[in-house]
Structure 1
Amino acid sequence: MYEIYKVFIKNYRVYTSEGMIHENDGAIFLKNLTAGKNLEFSEIKEGKIDFIASIDGLLKIDVNTLFELNCIDDIMMATLHNNFEVKKGLKVAGTRVIPLLVEESKLNEAKKIVGDKKIVEIVPFKPKKVGIVTTGNEIYHKRIVDKFGPVIEEKVSKYGCEVIGQVICPDDKDVIKDSILSFINQGAELICCTGGMSVDPDDVTPTAIKETNAKLVTYGSPILPGAMFLLAYYNNVPIMGIPGCAMYHKTTVFDVILSRILIDEKITKKDIAAYGHGGLCMNCEICTYPACNFTKI
């Protein structure tokens, strides 16, 4: 082996005259190449480095570049799923050189593939001012008690969001529309509309949202629970039409999309459509979301 690779020691690192790199140096190279913001790192052990979240936030993985990187022999990287909601201190990825010595040419190939992109990073949540518009004649006339408001407030509050108000509207599209626009004029950065999201004749919330002149992204999602979800943008203010399942299920489409909204990601129709693969909740007796298969893309 020594005759083939002509190994010599320099500053406690192993190099060779045949263009070979020691596993530990290779792992450092891959870490520096792929790691984005808000990460900490384990010590190197046998050519392996772990990536650890240094903040609470949303894990973003460049899935296509990760795939290309893993097509190179003798190096690897494994991560949690893209858009995984993480807490500070959670291990989110690991990379290593597989043999003791790796060809320098393979690391150069990795550099060409990754370029200036970063495969792994954590994006912090940005708390928003939230307006809740709850619709329905039965709630408006106090024949039933509103259960939507407390659920929405609890979910957004865990991200540090401020609910600046809740308005309860009858099934009148003009009143609903005006309530949405009023919250936006008050500085709301996210509008959550609850009630009236089905296809019954008196369910006019989707129409009211459209008539604000907001740009509709989708009315409907391939996520269960959450098929009758609506997303639109009034300029840069997201408007979410939240279906009734949010009252009864611990985790729904609202939880999935909310975390991305709170990193200021502009969600597209294709983003929503991609959730079809994995968008079926198993309704486990004990919910472990996000540490489960639901909506992992």
Structure 2
Amino acid sequence: MQFGPVPLSEAEGAVLAHSLSLGEVRLKKGHVLSAEDLARLGAAGVREVIVARLDEEDVGEDAAAEALAEAFSGSNIRAANASTGRVNLHATEAGLFRADRSLVDAFNAIDPAITFACLADHSAVQPGEMVATIKIIPLAVSGASLARALGAIGVSGLAQVRAFRSLRVGLIATWLPTLKSSVMDNTRQLLASRLSLSGSELEEEIRVAHDAEAVAGEIVRMAQLHEMIVVFGASAVTDPQDVIPAAIRRAGGEVERVGMPVDPGNLLVLGSLGDVPVIGAPGCARSPKENGFDWVLARILAGEPPTSMDIAGMGVGGLLKEIPTRPQPRQPVVKQSRSPGADVAVVLLAAGRASRMGDAAGHKLLAAFDGEVLIRKMAGTALASRAGRTIVVTGHRSADIAASLAGLEVKLVHNAEFASGMASSLRQGLGALDADVSGALVLLGDMPALTPAHLDRLIEAFAAHGGTAIIRASDGERRGNPVILPRSAFAEAMALAGDVGARALIESGTWPVVDVEIGPAARLDVDTPDAVRAAGGVTESPGAD
């Protein structure tokens, strides 16, 4: 491949290296230049362009990325559409993501032009979750390098998702006078929620005295009925001869390991009775926060029960820190009758500077429509819809925005990094959602024509498509806002940066996109004083801070 600047007279058929935007002339990186393109560029005063000229054996960036992604088919991994040389890979099943570091390193050593980045080995994933990305750095790669990379992917074990098995599970809970029954009830619910991620079911719970003989008897009985046994002790394990490991031995089973180098999770016990795994859960597993119990449980559910040496190797990365922006994925699931859309939450973005309003006209979200401040009107629209809850992300003039929302049942989340762009507000909003939310309706704060009925129409479409598609409002011909993001898109949305919104996710091709016509309201926003007045609003008092 030849790369560099060339005069327009020599650029026909070459690949544009950098995007160009000159008045009405807009050409994207990777575009193959035509004679018409060159004529328009010449008319705009351009004399040379930076291009790539592909040799006969070269393969374009998108074609190369798609070929590499296709090589992962059959590994419970599917590829999104390639764009600018990148293609993202997603799990098709709930399971355990496996990646062999030595094989991945060898792949990335083939050619710096070809890169593969993925989750950590043994990461638990859900369907639709992004597990890896392939990026072709230049505009094309040599056919020889591509062939070597394809051969490396063909080596068994480079990367795959091992699907979780659906197991029948029994719970043995020991009690002492100091342990409240409500704690035991919550523990049962939380374990059931953890198991539900794999389709497994907690079929039975038995509560016995904190005594090795009593626990051993239940292990023997349950091993005849269930495919896995979890024991929650009323008191923490302090010795290999303590109640839970002693009970496993008395039942005729084997103790693989007492203790693990993962914190929280140090006091885990792992054993078995025949082919039935028995886990003595550490006390931290009574919490939804990630801990060593989750790591061991995921491996067993994926058909890879860890050995003592496997657990001994978990120390690097075994210090688990809670990430404030990451929703807790294992909150107890409370089954109750809910109205349609109750598991969709609204993320109302109200953090921007509204710079196009100018200093004299004040903040657009504090303009008045029918005597009501715009941001309060937008929050009221969200609350009157079928959505279950509303998060409002504030930033610029957060105190004034908050005061305008006084008395409304909304949760305020402040984005201290609002100046960096929309992506930071989206991260804050999604990070504040509860774990049982299946979709986020991303609502801009400056769209006064939207009504609760419009939002309900989007929510109904989201439910009709099983909560797996991106739902986007349109005016029949043009795409607009709001959009609903499914939970499977949250991780990628929280990885966005800069002044980027949901469009990047839509264009990735990872999720189906369903357009729902709601009329002109999908395109009506008020970014300028003239737009406020044209929409029937009154700008904030001049001179507002």
Shifted more, 32-41 versus 227-236: the winner is 32-41
How far off its partner does 1:227 sit? 0.6
> What do residues 102-132 of structure 1 show as CA deviations (whole Å, max 9, x unaligned)?
2233233334444432533333322211111
How many angstroms apart in 2 are the aligned matches of 1:16 and 1:217? 58
Match of 1:23 among 54, 61, 66: 61
How far off its partner does 1:207 sit? 0.9
How many angstroms apart in 1 are the aligned matches of 2:240 and 2:93? 46
Match of 1:190 among 228, 231, 239: 228
Q: How does 1:105-120 map to 2 (within 5 A)?
A: 105-117=144-156, 119-120=158-159
How far off its partner does 1:190 sit? 0.8
1:265 and 2:307 equivalent? Answer: no
Residue of structure 1 in register with 2:139 after alignment: 100
Residue of structure 2 in register with 1:214 after alignment: 253
Shifted more, 217-226 versus 256-265: the winner is 256-265
Residue identity over aligned pairs, in percent, reads 28
How many angstroms apart in 1 are the aligned matches of 2:126 and 2:76? 11
Q: 1:33 to 1:40 in 2, by over 3 A?
A: closer
Residue of structure 2 in register with 1:59 after alignment: 97
Runs of 5+ in structure 1 lacking a partner?
3-7, 292-297
How far off its partner does 1:230 sit? 0.9
TM-score, structure 1 length as denominator?
A: 0.80
How many angstroms apart in 1 are the aligned matches of 2:311 and 2:240? 26
Match of 2:244 among 177, 185, 205: 205
1:44 and 2:82 equivalent? Answer: yes
How many angstroms apart in 1 are the aligned matches of 2:104 and 2:266? 31
Match of 2:188 among 146, 149, 167: 149
Residue of structure 2 in register with 1:294 after alignment: none
> What do residues 19-63 of structure 1 show as CA deviations (whole Å, max 9, x unaligned)?
433323322332233454233322222322221233333322233
Task: Please state whether the residue corresponding to 2:318 is helix, strand or coil.
Answer: coil
Residue of structure 2 in register with 1:5 after alignment: none
Q: How does 1:79-94 map to 2 (within 5 A)?
A: 79-94=118-133
How far off its partner does 1:66 sit? 1.1
Residue of structure 2 in register with 1:125 after alignment: 164
Residue of structure 1 in register with 2:315 after alignment: 276
Match of 1:138 among 177, 194, 197: 177
> What do residues 163-214 of structure 1 show as CA deviations (whole Å, max 9, x unaligned)?
222222223322211110100112x011001114422799411111123333
How many angstroms apart in 1 are the aligned matches of 2:153 and 2:305? 24
Task: Please state whether the residue corresponding to 1:198 is helix, strand or coil.
Answer: coil
How many angstroms apart in 2 are the aligned matches of 1:38 and 1:201? 39
How far off its partner does 1:95 sit? 0.9
Residue of structure 1 in register with 2:514 after alignment: none
How many angstroms apart in 2 are the aligned matches of 1:169 and 1:132? 11
Residue of structure 1 in register with 2:202 after alignment: 163
How many angstroms apart in 2 are the aligned matches of 1:154 and 1:105? 49
Residue of structure 2 in register with 1:226 after alignment: 265
How many angstroms apart in 2 are the aligned matches of 1:286 and 1:112? 39
Residue of structure 2 in register with 1:70 after alignment: 108
Q: 1:24 to 1:63 in 2, by over 3 A?
A: same
> What do residues 65-97 of structure 1 show as CA deviations (whole Å, max 9, x unaligned)?
111111122211111222333333332221132
Q: 1:149 to 1:34 in 2, by over 3 A?
A: closer
How many angstroms apart in 2 are the aligned matches of 1:51 and 1:286? 23
How many angstroms apart in 2 are the aligned matches of 1:249 and 1:38? 27
Q: Which has the higher contact order (CA 8 A, sep 6+)?
A: 1
Q: Give yes or no for contact 2:108–2:114 (8 Å, CA) kept in 1.
A: yes
Q: 1:90 to 1:201 in 2, by over 3 A?
A: closer
How far off its partner does 1:156 sit? 2.2
Runs of 5+ in structure 2 lacking a partner?
3-12, 15-31, 33-52, 330-490, 492-545
Count of residue pairs the alignment pairs up: 278
Match of 1:32 among 59, 66, 70: 70
Residue of structure 2 in register with 1:180 after alignment: 219
TM-score, structure 2 length as denominator?
A: 0.46
Matched to 2:212, the amino acid is K
Shifted more, 176-185 versus 126-135: the winner is 126-135
How far off its partner does 1:221 sit? 0.5
Residue of structure 1 in register with 2:437 after alignment: none
Q: 1:227 to 1:97 in 2, by over 3 A?
A: same
